[in-house]
Amino acid sequence: MSLPNRLCRSWSPVALYKKTREAILKLTPLQYRVTQMGATEHPGTGLYLHTRAPGIYVDIVSGEPLFASADKFDAGCGWPSFTKPIEPTNLIDMQYTRSGMSGTEVRSAHGDSHLGRVFNDGPAEHGGLRYCINSASLRFVPREQMEAQGYGAYLKQAKDLR
């Protein structure tokens, strides 16, 4: 199975998702290192690793919707894992080679935040992909707050975990 190719930035009908100086200044040191410098959290330490509540995960910088609770699963890798993005146009996959290793980095399209990596070892029954994402790049919006925060269009995807 090959990874999806979303290297070009797509137009989005939601112009309010963008990276701002104010948003960057609100980041914790860890959030800054992960989203702006491409760092990775230590495995097993992320805030959302064990979150099982229904809701969606958005970019900590831009607020753009990234992943739904219905697509989260326990991959046993030490980071929150998802089978697919909530809006594929909100992610950019970038090939990289560092220190003799290669892979696919995942970034947010509007916030240009480093999120994590995508691998071909996810659940086959859900497409075979595993989006391995740093909690520090995310903000969780619980289902009961989604409408008030402007994410009502995604309520159907904010289901309890399987």
What residue type is 5 in one-letter code? N
Active site includes 77? Answer: no
Active-site pick, 132, 136, 146, 158: 132
CB 141 within 8 Å of CB 149? yes
Q: How many other CB atoms are there within 10 angstroms of residue 42's CB atom?
A: 9
115's CB contacts (< 8 A; 6+ apart) are: 35, 59, 66, 91, 106, 107, 108, 131, 133, 134, 137, 138
Q: Is residue 67 within 8 Å of 158, Cβ to Cβ?
A: no
Active-site residue list: 132
